[in-house]
Structure formats: structure tokens, C-alpha cells
Amino acid sequence: MIPINRPWIDEQEKAEVAKVLEENALTTAARDGGKRVRDFESQMRSYLGVKHVLAVNSGTAALHAGLLAAGIEQGDEVLLPSFTFVATANAVVAAGGRPVFVDVKKDDYTMDVSDFKSKITKKSKAVIPVHLYGHPADMDEISELAQRHSIDVIEDACQSLGSTYRKKQTGTLGMMGCFSMYASKVLTAGEGGAVATDSSEVADKIKMIRNHGMVEGYDTRVLGMNLRLPELSAAVAAIQMKKLQKMLELRRRNAEMLSKMIYPATKKRGLRIPQETMEKKFNWYLYTVAFENGRDRIKDVLNKAGVGATVYYNPPVHRTPYYAKQVQRTKLPSTDWCADHVLSLPVHPHVTEADVAHIAKSLEAAL
């Protein structure tokens, strides 16, 4: 089976983890983090071109800490897509906010700006555009509306490290950007996350929030939790940063080969393939296609052929049992369509040229 994603871990990561174990410095409650945490944060700051990067222990923690730093309180509305992993909404609820679900566009699965505009109220405090599958959202339009209504922009860049919008890295376009380093992501630490920001005030808040609200000793000043990234995870992430560009290049190679091979099917068989634009360049975290009909049957055929084709995300958040009780009247027609028609294909760095050919051939047979 060609898995949908597989981390690229080799001897460098293993050696660095062994060093951490030998030093017996597995983690620290220091305000600025341990040596490996600081090393990783420095590399990511340089890559993104931002003033501050704060490492935390998951992408969910990054979103939660970001919302707390933005001052989200009970009753505040936070606008976000339903077509995303549930962590985006869960972080809002955990911070005390109320998720307001916004529809997406069928062409790139990111937030529909017109629907965002229609759902802004006096209670709207923040918006979380999600760069789903590594596809950048329409940040200029979202940011303009947000600024007009005094709404904070918190980017969910958990899937988009390396994607760019108008030549700027996703996660650097709002008040802050939240990243994930889960095992399947473009860059992994096993578990891990980070918040990027140019605001020193936000950075100081995140440092407190990730460490039980403390600054010096047991002097809790704000509500916080243990959201720290352990040194073991940071050691892996720091080595991964050195390989990031190569990993992105391999993903792009595979995605471009796959697009070329399956493009003829878009003319006759109702297949939609991901398309970059001059403004939006993808990291190719997931190569997501859509079909007019027969998605589930096609997925089954591909899986039997050894292709780890996977559906992300069905059901969308507003149709999950927990959220469906709270948003019974929510209508998101494009979100519902996407959930029932998309399919993601593997293009990660371990995928070979022969694998790409097999994926294309299997897809053609399935169609």
C-alpha cells in the first residue's frame, strides 16, 4: 500500500534524539524553552520571515493558545470553515468562544469570502481562515473585511507550511499563524505545533499561556496550561527544518507528475484536479481531487490497487454529532458537496516516480 502520508525520518533525527536522551534534558519549564526548542524556533523564524515563533505541543495547542492570546471570551463569535479537521472548532470552544461556520469554495476548498461577510455580527471577534490541504485562503479579501470590522485574523496554517500567498508564507499574513507538526504533516515532530507572529505582545502572551501562565516561578499571571514542546520532539523538528526544502521539492515533483498524467481525464470524466494560480502556490501536503459522482466506489478500487486514497473530511465539522446539536440550522451547501466528492491521493516524499505512475494508472482504471 502507498500510504496517504509517511514521515521522512532517517539517521539524523535518530542521532539527535539519542543526544537528548544522553543529556537527560527531556524537557524544561523555562520561559524560553530548552536548547532544541530555541533552535527549532530560530530556524522557523528565519524560514517564515517573522519576528517570533513559539513552539507548543500540537497544532491544536497552537490554535487554543492563539485564541487565548487574542482575548477570546465567553460569547465571542469566531468565524471558521466547517470543512476542516475538528481541532479548529474545538480550539474555539475550549477558549470559550462560539464557532460560526462559514462555507467554502469548491475550486480550492478554502473560505468563501462572501459567506464570511454575510455572517459577521457585532459579536464577531476573530476569524480563522484554514489553508486546507496546503491551499492558501483568499487572505487579502479576508484581512480587509476583518480590519473593517475589528476582527482578529488567526490563520490555521497547520497543513500549509511552505505554501505561499502572493509570495508570502502562509501563517504570516494575519495577527498570528498556527502550525502543526503531527506525524502526517509536511514537517513532523511526531506531535508538535507552533505559533508565528510579528507581535511582541502576542509572543509574550503565548510564552505565558504555554507554561501555566507563569513568568518567574509560580507567579501565574494569566490562564495557561502545559502546552510546552518537549526537547525530544523539538530535536526531531529542528532536523526536519534542515530537510524542509528538499521535502517540499519532492512533493511538488510528485504532484506535477500526477497532474500531467491524469489531466486527460478532466476533459471527459468529471475529474477535478488541484490548480495553482499566480497568487497561490501549494506545499502539496495533500493532492486532493474531486469527482462529479462515484467518489466512494473510486476510493475502494484505488485502495484495492494499493493506493492509500483517503477522504478528508467527511463528515465536515457541522455535521459531526457534537456540533450538529448546536448548529442545526446551518446551511453550507458547498461544504456538504466537497465532503461528499473529494478524495486525497499520496504525493509525499517517499512516493517514487513508479508509484506516481501506478496511482495514475489505478485512477484511470477506477474511472
Distance CA 242, CA 102 (A): 37
Structural domains in the chain (count): 2
Give CA–CA dist 38/40, Å, rounded.
5
pLDDT at residue 260 in the model:
98
Q: For residue 351, give the C-alpha cell.
A: 512516493
pLDDT at 148: 98
Q: What is the mean pLDDT of residues 15-40?
A: 96
Would 3 be classed as within a structural domain?
no
Per-residue pLDDT band for 25 (boundaries 50, 70, 90) equals very high
Average pLDDT over residues 133-160: 98
pLDDT single digits (tens) 224-238:
999 999 999 999 999
Confidence of residue 254 (pLDDT cuts 50, 70, 90): very high
Name 232's Cβ contacts closer than 8 Å, sequence gap at least 6.
Answer: 17, 20, 21, 26, 27
Amino acid sitting at position 210: R
Q: Taking 90 as the threshold, does the pLDDT of residue 267 lie above it?
A: no
Same domain for 78 and 211, yes or no, is: yes
Cell of 29: 519549564
What pairs with residue 55 in β-bridges? 194
- Among residues 223, 240, 257, the one where a domain terminates is 240
Shared domain for 134 and 49, answered yes or no, is yes
Q: What is the mean pLDDT of the chain?
A: 97
Task: Give the dihedral sign, CA 282/286/287/293.
Answer: negative
- The SS3 of residue 86 is coil
The residues that bridge with 124 in the sheet, in sequence order, are: 77
Residue matched to cell numbers 477558549: 95
Residue type, 141: E
Same domain for 188 and 325, yes or no, is: no
Same domain, 37 and 177: yes
Residue 30 maps to a domain: yes
Q: Are residues 308 and 260 in the same domain?
A: yes
CA distance 140 to 132: 17
Residues 6 or more apart whose Cβ sits within 8 Å of residue 74: 96, 97
Please identify, among 240, 271, 292, the residue that sits at the C-terminal boundary of a domain.
240
How far apart CA 342 and CA 331 sit, in angstroms, is 19
Q: What is the CATH classification number for the domain harbouring 36? A: 3.40.640.10
Task: Check: CB of residue 78 under 8 Å from CB of residue 91.
Answer: no
Q: Taking residues 57-81, what's their average pLDDT? A: 97
Which amino acid makes up residue 14? K
Distance CA 329, CA 267 (A): 37
Q: Which of 249, 242, 243, 289 is nearest to 270 (CA)?
A: 289
> Per-residue pLDDT tens for 269-318?
789 999 999 999 999 999 999 999 999 999 999 999 999 999 999 999 99
Q: Which residue has the cell 526536519?
A: 240
Residue 2 placed within a domain: no
pLDDT of residue 327: 81
Percentage of the chain lying above the pLDDT 70 cut? 100
State the pLDDT at residue 188. Answer: 98
pLDDT > 80? residue 349: yes
Q: Which of 240, 260, 283 lies at the terminal end of a domain, its last residue? A: 240
Continuous H helices in the chain: 11-23, 35-48, 59-69, 87-94, 113-118, 139-148, 200-209, 231-262, 265-268, 295-304, 321-324, 333-341, 353-366
pLDDT tops 90 at residue 35: yes
Please name every residue paired with 165 in a beta bridge, in sequence order, or none if there are none: 168, 280
* Domain extent at residue 173: 11-240
Q: What are phi and psi of 91, to 5 degrees?
A: -65, -35
Q: How far apart are CA 285 and CA 4, in angstroms?
A: 10
In a domain, 5, yes or no: no
Are 68 and 216 within one domain?
Answer: yes
Residue 6 in any domain: the answer is no
Confidence at residue 262, expressed as pLDDT on a 0 to 100 scale: 97
| Model pLDDT, residue 367 | 94
Residue whose C-alpha is closest to residue 311's, from 273, 342, 272 = 342
Closest CA to 133 of 14, 1, 251, 271: 251
For every residue of 325-343, DSSP letters joined together read TT-TT---HHHHHHHHHEE
Phi, psi of 42, rounded to the nearest 5 degrees = -65, -45
The whole-number average pLDDT for the span 45-72 is 98
75-90 residue pLDDT tens? 999 999 999 999 999 9
Distance CA 67, CA 96 (A): 9
Residue 262 lies in a domain: yes
The CATH number that applies at residue 248 is 3.90.1150.10
Please tell me the pTM assigned to this model: 0.97
